[in-house]
Amino acid sequence: MYLSTVSRPVTDPPETGPHRRRLAMVSGNVVALGAVSLITDISAEMVAAVLPLYLVLGLQLSPVAFGVLDGVHTGATALLRVVGGYAADRFRRRKLIAGIGYTLSAVAKLGLLLAGRSVPAIGAVIAVDRLGKGVRSAPRDALITLSTPPEALGRAFGVHRAMDSVGAFLGPLAAFAVLLVVGESYDAVFVTSFCVAALAVVVLVLFVRERPPGEPTDGPDDPKVSVREAFGLLRSRPTRRIVLAAALLGLATIGDGFVYLLLQRRADLDLHWFPLLAVGTSLAYLLLAAPFGVLADRIGRLPVVIGGYSALGAAYLLLAGPVDGWPLIALTLALYGAFYAATDGVLIALAGPVLPTRLRTTGIALVQTGQALAYLVSSVLFGLAWQAWGPGNAIRAAAVAVAGVLVVTLLLLASPSRLVTRKVPR
Amino acid sequence: MTALSTRAKLGVVAASAVLLGSVAAGYAATAAEPARTPPSATGDQAVTLEPGARLLAITDRHVSTVAAADPAGPRTVSGLECLRVYAAAGIGVCLKPETAWSYQVVVLDAALRQTRAVSVPGLPNRARVSASGRMVSWTTFVGGDSYTSSGFSTRTGILDTTTGATVSSLEEFAITRDGRSYRSPDVNFWGVTFTADDNHFYATMSTGATRYLVRGDVAARTVETLKENVECPSLSPDGTRVAFKEAIDADPAKGWRLSVLDLATMRVTATAETNSVDDQAAWLDGGTLAYTRRQDDGQPDVWSVPADGSGTPKLTIPGAESPAPLG
């Protein structure tokens, strides 16, 4: 229902009464970014779906060689994400930086063809793909916040994330369709994936705007954002608090791999069904992202984020609790998908208005990087907890951590005057 | 750019879609693999797993045999498609495509007739039969859901063909590491080789960044670590030595050296094969190892080398993989 009326720009003239605004949905720029994400995710998930087949059956790589591919690029990606965010702000070229990110990932698909059987080359190609993903997220989200009035940010992110997950859903289907036609020619999947990704770049170039229509372009006299100013971002209390809260919340997230592994063990699920656990989560995410975004605009973003993490805590408790079999799977996946729907975009919607427009991309990159690094730490900690206490107690400890982090987050962020009603400086 | 009307932009997008679509379709048309036709049986008799002076191997994804005395000579190829095969005492195990996306472990009698089939998750990698033909084991890779997040793991299963008892994953077994009880979510097992009692076995266990040789007990459902940096063990016919691949400088990124471990002294002897070997070797006799080596383009050949570190590697079955002695 959100997608059918989205093309109406939210910046429509005066009749923008409360009722009118609800109908106005999201701006053209958000729809364009959503379309780019949708198409890009088809491309990315096509490759993700066949890469194991390609590496193991096509190239005959062994498990440890594959482990090497996993790589330790997270640190470098995190740094470059912030650098990319800063460049987008300094040159006021968010669209360009996002476009570079999308292009890098597209080119990486062709790189898989050229890498051949070389494990280091495949590792490098995957690193480039990750780099592209890291570089584009912050400018893309910054463009969403800059094309949307603050009071409609939740809905804008909800619609964007829903479109994104539709692409993630279609990708594996597209890959299998290609393989059905061409047989075991993984090359054809990579080339198709590249073509799909290139189409996304075309859509980005043509339809995504650097700034909303009517927005004055920056005068040549406006001082450029300096590195000093970017560092100063962390000296501002509200920014520091939101980055800290995002990282803390990340620390309470043990990662999909562990959740699905525990679920499979608890429910004694046949391993064949394992990949469908991720599909179930995506489905819940896809269906709930837009409604939760709208809800966030109505009742406030912080309550929705808190609700999302409560759903995460509840999912953890379920994994340690008395429920078994299919009810356990259905409930856990619904809660887990709800967690993503209530937090992924909504957290950025919460952060966006706190960050000054001039440094919006850098700020969003900081929030996302803080989270990404925290995920890394939390998955290591959870692995250690599992070794020390066993899976049952480890997941109970994770649930306790969620509760603790929620209290701290409330203390950090619950000052409505600063976070909810503050207007975006234009 | 801004001068373009929405209609013109949509036109450009449509034209790009058509252009990129034809690129993809054109590539697919040239890349499409011709349907795999099973190579017709050559030689007079059909492939059999009856013990005899022959070697079993996979040729172009099909089960085949060659004479042990003339392995590069005439080859008997069956219509049975397998990605990995092994046999002993007239019992075979084949990791076979079930649908385009799934595989099954098939237990074969001497005439390649299927006696049991177990559907397995993931992609086939290793297969073994105990010397008596009673115990069967396999390893598959189970893929992660997203390649931008971590996530490849292995599943190793064991089947007792006399009772039908199945261990679907060795991860269910209790682990003793360096004398102490151990558990971790990142434990993976691969490459089982059985001892003569059809209960004990050796295998690889990986956790953290370390790969261990473990000795396991099927009845007791336990494994214990013996030594680090030993992968894909293969027990010698007399049960005294284990052929394995040893990661160079304990770093799999640098490749593997095919080596032999003496279980009594725990001394390691590297074989004369200096190319990286990523395979679970097979003992052709008490002193010779056979293994798959890949050419730069991925084409496999079966090579053999003395197990005591002497001699030089010898190309044994060109264009084949997954060797096993039938004699």
- For the record, the structure tokens of B119 come out as 């559907």
**Closest chain B C-alpha to A371 CA, distance in angstroms:** 14
Residues of A in contact with B145 (CB under 8 A): 48, 256, 260, 275, 278
What pLDDT is stored for residue B35 in this prediction? 47
Among B residues 98-117, those touching chain A with beta carbons less than 8 Å apart: 100-102
Yes or no: say if A143 and A33 are a contact pair by the CB < 8 Å rule: yes
Closest CA of chain B from A236, distance in Å: 33
Distance CA A193, CA A41 (A): 10
Average pLDDT for runs of 10 along chain A of length 426: 34 41 71 95 88 76 56 65 91 93 94 84 85 91 92 93 91 86 84 95 93 58 77 85 92 86 80 77 93 95 95 94 87 95 94 90 92 85 86 93 94 65 43
ipTM of the complex: 0.73
Dihedral of the CA atoms A107, A109, A114, A115 (nearest 10)? Answer: 110
CB contact (8 A) between residue A63 and residue B206: yes
B290, pLDDT greater than 70: yes
Give the pLDDT band (50/70/90) at residue B146: very low
**What does the radius of gyration of chain B's CA atoms come to, in whole angstroms?**
23
Contact B46/A at CB under 8 A: no
Q: Phi, psi (5° rounding) for residue B244?
A: -160, 170
What number does CATH give the domain A25-211?
Answer: 1.20.1250.20
Q: Which residue in A64, A191, A271 is closest to B24 by CB distance?
A: A191
* Closest residue, chain A, to B155 (C-alpha): A271
CA distance A202 to chain B (A): 7
What local confidence, expressed as pLDDT, does residue A67 receive? Answer: 52
Determine which of A215, A261, A271, A340 to mutate to test the interface with B (most B C-beta atoms within 10 Å): A271
pLDDT tens digits along B186-200 = 888 999 999 999 999
pLDDT at A214: 56
What pLDDT does residue A361 have?
93
Q: Which positions ≥6 away from A113 have C-beta within 8 Å? A: A187, A190, A191
pLDDT, tens digit (0-9, with 9 covering 90-100), for B302-324 = 999 999 999 999 999 999 999 99
pLDDT value of residue A159: 94
Query: What is the band of B136 on the pLDDT scale with cuts at 50, 70, 90?
Result: very high
Using the predicted structure, report yes or no on whether residue B12 has a pLDDT greater than 80.
yes
Would you say A116 and A129 are in contact if contact means Cβ atoms under 8 Å apart?
Answer: no
- Cα gap A153→B135, rounded to integer Å: 61
Q: What percent of chain B has pLDDT over 90?
A: 72
Closest CA to B152 of B118, B186, B128, B124: B186
Quick check: B3 contacting A, CB < 8 Å?
no
- Give the helix ranges, DSSP H, for A233-272: 237-251, 256-266
Spatial CB neighbours of B98, under 8 Å, sequence gap ≥ 6 = B104, B119
Residue in A129, A184, A274 nearest the CB of B33? A184
Task: Tell me the C-alpha distance between B164 and B65, whole Å.
Answer: 28
Which of B21, B142, B184 has its CB closest to that of A274?
B142
A-proximal residues of B, 53-82, CB under 8 Å: none
Could you tell me which CATH number the domain at A226-426 has? 1.20.1250.20
Task: Tell me the chain A residues in contact with residue B166 when contact means C-beta distances shorter than 8 Å.
Answer: none
Residue B153 with chain A: CB contacts under 8 Å: 63
Q: In chain A, which residue's Cα lies nearest the Cα of B206?
A: A64
Contacts of A66 in chain B (CB under 8 A): 141, 152
- The token pair at B92 is 């075979």
Yes or no, beta carbons of B20 and A182 under 8 Å apart: no
| Selected residue of A206, A258, A268 to mutate for chain B interface (largest B Cβ count, 10 A) | A206
Q: Around A411, how many Cα atoms within 13 Å sit in the side-chain half-sphere?
A: 8
- Give me the residue from A133, A178, A180 closest to B148, CB to CB: A133
Residue B309: exposure state from Cβ atoms within 10 A (0-12, 13-18, ≥19):
middle
In angstroms, the separation between the Cα of residue A417 and the nearest Cα of chain B is: 38
* Residue ranges of chain A that CATH labels 1.20.1250.20: 25-211, 226-426
**A199 min Cα distance to partner chain B (Å):** 6
Q: What backbone torsions phi and psi does residue B214 show, to the nearest 5 degrees?
A: -120, 155
Closest chain B residue to A72, measured at CA: B150
**Which residue of B24, B123, B188 is in closest CB contact with A53?**
B123
Q: Is B1 exposed, middle or buried (0-12, 13-18, 19+ CB in 10 A)?
A: exposed
How far apart are the C-alpha atoms of B311 and A248, rounded to whole Å? 60
Q: What is the pLDDT of residue A265?
A: 81
User: In percent, how much of chain B has pLDDT > 70?
Assistant: 91
Q: How confident is the model at residue B33 (pLDDT cuts 50, 70, 90)?
A: low
Q: What is the pLDDT of residue A64?
A: 56
> In the prediction, which pLDDT does B198 show?
96
Min Cα–Cα distance to chain B from A86, Å: 24
Using an 8 Å CB-CB cutoff, list chain A residues near B278: 60-62, 65
Q: What is the pLDDT of residues B156-206, one digit of tens each?
A: 999 999 999 999 899 999 999 999 999 888 888 999 999 999 999 999 998
Cβ–Cβ below 8 Å for B253 and A261: no
Please count the residue pairs, one from chain A and one from chain B, whose beta carbons lie less than 8 angstroms apart.
Answer: 165
**Interchain proximity A260–B145, CB inside 8 Å:** yes
Q: Any chain A CB within 8 A of the CB of B97?
A: no
Please give the backbone phi and psi of residue A185, each rounded to the nearest 5 degrees, phi first: -100, 90
Question: How much is the pLDDT for A116?
Answer: 81
- Domains observed in chain B: 47-325 (2.120.10.30)
Q: Distance (Å, rounded) from C-alpha A152 to C-alpha A345?
A: 12
Q: Does B33 touch chain A (CB under 8 A)?
A: yes
DSSP assignments along B220-241, one per residue: TTEEEEEEES-EEEEE-TTSSE
Ranking A267-271, B84-88, B123-127, B270-274 by mean pLDDT, the lowest is: A267-271
> % helix / strand / coil in chain B, to the nearest 5?
10, 50, 40
Least confident residue range of B93-107, B266-280, B303-317:
B93-107
What are the strands of the beta sheet with B54-59, ordered from one edge? B75-81, B62-67, B54-59, B321-325
Chosen from B98, B148, B251, B294 to mutate, greatest number of chain A CBs within 10 A: B148
Chain A residues in contact with B185 by the CB 8 A cut-off are 258, 261, 382-383, 386-387, 391
Q: Which of B16, B83, B154 has the CB atom closest to A199's CB atom?
A: B16
pLDDT of residue A24: 55
